[in-house]
Amino acid sequence: EKKKIYDAIKNNDFLSNLDDHQIDMIASTMYPRDYQKKTRIIHEGDIGYHLYVSDTGEFEIFKGKELQGCFGPGVAFGELALLYNVKRAVSID
C-alpha cells in the first residue's frame, strides 16, 4: 500500500519533486477509505483538506456539470487545494 502511495506521488506533476522523507511523512498520515461507485469524493468550490490516491476503480472529473476527463488506479489527486490554499477546482466522482 505504501508503495502505491509513493508511486502515485512521484508521478504527480505537482508532488514529484518531494524527496523520500517528505513522501514517507505524507504516506504515514494516509489511511484507506472505500467509496461506492458514483460517490462525489471532491466537491468543486470546497476547501480541501485531503490528498487522495486512487487504488481501484474509475474516477470522473467534472467542472460544473461537464465531464472533463477520467482516471483510474495509481493517481494522486486533490493536491492543488492543499499546496496553494485554494478551493477545489473540480469535482471528482
From CA 61, how far away is CA 42, in angstroms rounded?
9
CATH number for the domain that contains residue 48: 2.60.120.10
The boundaries of the domain holding residue 75 are 2-92
CB 5 within 8 A of CB 72: no
Residue 86's pLDDT is: 94
* 76-92 pLDDT tens trace: 999 999 899 999 999 99
Residue 82's pLDDT is: 87
* 37-76 pLDDT tens trace: 999 999 999 999 999 999 999 999 999 999 999 999 999 9
Domain count within the chain? 1
